[in-house]
Amino acid sequence: MKTVTTVKALHAEISRVKEQDLSIGFVPTMGALHKGHLELMKTARTNNNIVVVSIFVNPTQFNNPNDLRNYPRTIDQDIAKCESVGVDIVFAPTVEEVYPIPDNRVFDFGNLDKVMEGEHRPGHFNGVAQVVSKLFSMVKPTRSYFGQKDFQQLAVIRALVKDYSIDVDIVACPTFREDDGLAMSSRNALLSAEQRANVPIISKTLFAARNNLAQKSVKEVIDWVTTEINANNELDVEYFEISNANTLQPITKWSDADEVVGCIAVQVGNVRLIDNVIFK
């Protein structure tokens, strides 16, 4: 496995791969790697000749400076984990390497990025589009792998690829969960022991809503999920929205869309967790 930190060194490696007409599977990450990330890499390993992983905490997608400052950084452990699952190239650049000049591009995804995370984290998805489009240009992957835990991000990246004619296949992978149902996230490492003991209620409540409340109205499900989670003093629901899974626009009746997703963000002390459940 090779670890490179500059675009020049990355391009040299990618050029050698392209000369041999080999497929590239790409997993972009912000580090603090967990089992979910490793599963993405394993899937990429199965379906491609070469696997590239980027490790880069992207500042342009953080609207909260404290969140950026506190985001876990474990580069040495991350590199070792990448090697353990057969990654070929790790790209771990500095901010200056990715943004030699300020990136002032503004992307337009219609209403897709205006709701949920977009509403509560202004500018977040524009920053995601900035860095992902840069990384796609640098790595030139055949396929790129993303987890469905970040459901809205996945939708935005699919729109990015389609709207801006980027030649890469986006592969969605299921949400990977801990044994108690908690969606795997780098932010889980920031939870205290007490908080960690309480957060599985998020997924348990979402699953209960999906399995037992199908005959309830959309509003009744939203109210029930919010009330159940907020009943725990450690947890505070920032939003829970039930939406068309394709447009991400909120629905008021189950018949409003053929595919429906419920997306949630919960504040746990200073840690913010997201999750989702497919209703149909």
Transcribe 185-251 into DSSP letters: -GGGGGS-HHHHHHTHHHHHHHHHHHHH-TTS-HHHHHHHHHHHHHTSTTEEEEEEEEEETTT--B-
47 touches 25 (CB < 8 A) = yes
DSSP SS3 for 177: strand
277 pLDDT band, cuts 50/70/90, is: very high
Q: What is the pLDDT of residue 251?
A: 97
Determine which one of 11, 34, 37, 120 is catalytic: 37
Of 212, 145, 132, nearest to 172 by C-alpha is: 145
66 pLDDT band, cuts 50/70/90, is: confident
In the predicted structure, residue 63 carries a pLDDT above the cut 90:
no
Q: What is the pLDDT of residue 214?
A: 66
Q: Give me the residue spans of the domains in the chain.
A: 2-173, 186-278
pLDDT tens, 210-263?
998 768 999 999 999 999 999 999 999 999 999 999 999 999 999 999 999 999
Determine what percent of the chain is predicted with pLDDT higher than 70: 100
Query: Which residues are CB-contacts of 33 (< 8 A; sequence separation ≥ 6)?
Result: 55, 74, 77, 78, 81, 82, 186
Query: Which residues are CB-contacts of 134 (< 8 A; sequence separation ≥ 6)?
Result: 98, 103
In the predicted structure, residue 136 carries a pLDDT above the cut 80:
yes
pLDDT tens, 70-102?
899 999 999 999 999 999 999 999 999 999 999
pLDDT tens, 23-35?
999 999 999 999 9
- Strand segments, DSSP code E, in 72-178 are 89-91, 143-147, 169-173
Handedness of CA 38, 44, 47, 51 (dihedral sign): negative
Determine what percent of the chain is predicted with pLDDT higher than 90: 96
* CATH number for the domain running over 186-278: 3.30.1300.10
273 touches 255 (CB < 8 A) = no
The token duo for 55 is 């490790």
**Cβ neighbourhood burial of 36 (10 Å; 0-12, 13-18, 19+):** buried
> Cα 241–246–250 angle (5° rounding)?
25
Question: Cα separation of 180 and 247, whole Å?
Answer: 30
Q: What is the pLDDT of residue 11?
A: 97
pTM: 0.94
37 catalytic per annotation: yes
7 touches 93 (CB < 8 A) = yes
* CATH number for the domain running over 2-173: 3.40.50.620
In the predicted structure, residue 5 carries a pLDDT above the cut 90:
yes
25 touches 48 (CB < 8 A) = yes
Residues 57-68: what's their mean pLDDT? 92
Q: What is the mean pLDDT of the chain?
A: 96
Q: What is the pLDDT of residue 212?
A: 83
Task: Indicate the DSSP class of residue 116.
Answer: T
In the predicted structure, residue 37 carries a pLDDT above the cut 80:
yes
